[in-house]
Amino acid sequence: METVIEIKHLEKAFNDIPVLTDINLELKRGENIAILGKSGTGKSVLTKCIVRLVQADDGEVLVLGNDVLRMDDEQLNEIRKKVGYLFQGGALYDSMTVRENLEFQIRRTQLEKNKTELRQLVEESLENVGLLDAINKMPGELSGGMKKRIGLARTLILKPKVILYDEPTTGLDPVTSGEISELILAVQEKYNTSSIIITHDIKCAKMTANQVKIMKDGKFYAEGTFSELCESDDQEVKAYFS
């Protein structure tokens, strides 16, 4: 299987305090990796390093074969179009309606599309997340779960090859969390995407991940499939699954 993301010996420190130390990761096409870990262990920093929202200090981050740490802004923008990022709170633009949020995403990259094509793309994306009714609403009128769904629709509109989910189910009730996890799976099946899912939600990791990694103090402490880690004798690993 083709490798879509490969991270080699990634290092990041803030004010001389190491946040990521010697991180290595390989994500193959169609695969989902869930990263578990306590708050402040560097999970979100890792995903931000992948799209260079945070500049890593050392190592290599190869996205679709291109080293994002050593490319110019033009090349980086091209790579970013192929990598979707779902932020913790959805990060919808407050001053725009749901429709405008989605249109904003595509208007820079697909200027040749006419209004009808744009409308179709927006509606198709919203249908994928089951929220076509919310097309003219403002983000302030949406619930937390709806914001995340719209955030996912906005990510999907560019048909990315890789999606990075930053705590997709945090702050949601168990039913909505389950729906979001199902949505992640549905998206993977429909678009054959690969995903890195940062989460605290064990159920979400169980449902969505082919591989689970546990982060501790900026390093991968344990990794394997969900069932392998469930059966681990290590007390710290067990603590996540008890």
Which residues contribute to the site for other proteins (CB under 8 A)? 48, 51, 53, 77, 80-81, 83, 85, 87-89, 91-94, 104-105, 108-109, 158
Task: Give the CA angle between residues 81, 86, 90 to the nearest 5°.
Answer: 125
The least distance separating other proteins from the CB of residue 91, rounded to whole angstroms, comes to 4
Question: Among 155, 157, 237, which residue's Cα sits nearest to residue 202?
Answer: 237
Three-class secondary structure of residue 17 per DSSP: strand
The least distance separating other proteins from the CB of residue 239, rounded to whole angstroms, comes to 28
What is the DSSP code (8-state) at residue 187?
H
Q: Can you read off the two tokens belonging to residue 197?
A: 């899912």
Contact 232, 238 (CB under 8 A): yes
In terms of CB distance, is 36 or 163 closer to other proteins?
163
Q: Which residue intervals of 163-201 are DSSP H helices?
A: 174-191
In terms of CB distance, is 154 or 213 closer to other proteins?
154
Distance CA 207, CA 48 (A): 24
The least distance separating other proteins from the CB of residue 214, rounded to whole angstroms, comes to 25
The least distance separating other proteins from the CB of residue 171, rounded to whole angstroms, comes to 13
The least distance separating other proteins from the CB of residue 12, rounded to whole angstroms, comes to 16
Strand 32-37 relative to strand 211-216: parallel, antiparallel, unpaired? parallel
Distance CA 38, CA 214 (A): 9
Contact 181, 17 (CB under 8 A): no
